[in-house]
Amino acid sequence: MMNSATIKSLLLALITTAFMGTAQAQEERAYARVFYVDVKPGKGAEYREFNSEVWSKVNQVRADAGEISAYYLNRARVPSGERANCDYMAVYVPQGGLGGESMSMDDALKKAKIKMTGDEFWEKVRDLSSLLYSEIWYRVDKVGPDAEVRNLMMLDYMDVHNVDDWLEMEDTIFNPVHEARIKDGAMVGWSAHRLFLPRGTSVPYNAATVNIFPDWASIGNMQVVNYFEKTHSNLDTTGLWKRVGASRDIVRSDVFEIIGKVTPSK
């Protein structure tokens, strides 16, 4: 019979193993920190120049230091104007899960050889733009290569009702369609993501798919039905679309142009 000390040791070992397993699973997720930004009136060109000459160089330092694996700056194309959801979307992909950034802004600016303090940097950011809100996502599926500058990115924000069914359909049914489109050059890449934070009943969507296109002509001539018929000629499409509709609703679709990208130096 085990004494109390032995029982406590076993319980501690079980708890530690469970915690470490959970932490490891989270670290393996491809997280993305997304920031939706509005630019002050009349400062669009200056904002883009600041991102090109300062912010991208700081992010290059962070990428080369192993803190981030990618940074994207995306400009809103549809919708746009005063009623748009934002002017720009900045996306950071942390290296090795959340909480990987440790370098101070002062150090990053110094390593980037930019003569500016961290306080001056953020003062300039506030002068040019306003942060509307931020989100954290993680990727659950992917087909094709990563997006590049000048690609167009269509985001389909979704309210997913049945996550397991949605993931199964995306993986087994729609992925072959995306692969065929990518092979023909009609699409660059595709990925599916779930919203990690914020969460709750007040959030209108909990998932999104990201469709990457080479140009506007590809968006205007998607021909998804034709590719679907070629890929799944024997599938009951009537039953499938009912299943799709039961698993999720598309809340809205936005189009962004990728105008900046940073990855670790080769």
The model's pLDDT over 119-159, given as tens digits with 9 standing for 90+, comes to 999 999 999 999 999 999 999 999 999 999 999 999 999 99
pLDDT at 83: 84
pLDDT at 102: 82
Q: What is the CATH number of domain 29-136?
A: 3.30.70.100
- CATH topology for 139-259 is Alpha-Beta Plaits (3.30.70)
pLDDT, mean of residues 38-53: 97
pLDDT-based confidence at residue 262 (cuts at 50, 70, 90): very high
**Distance from C-alpha of 190 to C-alpha of 141, rounded to nearest angstrom:** 8
> What element of type H or E holds 225?
helix 224-231
Torsion of CA 227, 143, 78, 29, to 10 degrees: 150
The model's pLDDT over 5-35, given as tens digits with 9 standing for 90+, comes to 433 333 333 333 333 333 334 446 889 999 9
The model's pLDDT over 206-251, given as tens digits with 9 standing for 90+, comes to 999 999 999 999 999 888 777 877 888 787 777 888 888 899 999 9
Kindly list the domain boundaries of the chain, sorted by start residue: 29-136, 139-259
pLDDT at 125: 98
Contact criterion met (CB below 8 Å) for 59 and 68: yes
Contact criterion met (CB below 8 Å) for 174 and 231: no
Give the bridge partners for 191, in sequence order.
142, 210
Give the bridge partners for 71, in sequence order.
92, 262
200-225 burial code (b ≥16 CB/10 A, e <16): eeeeebbbbbbbbbeeeebbeeeeee
Whether the predicted pLDDT of 181 surpasses 60: yes
Calculate the average pLDDT of the chain.
88
pLDDT-based confidence at residue 71 (cuts at 50, 70, 90): very high
Q: How far is CA 204 from CA 71, 80, 153, 161, in A?
A: 26, 20, 21, 12
Domains 29-136 and 139-259 share a fold: yes
- Model pTM? 0.85
pLDDT at 168: 93
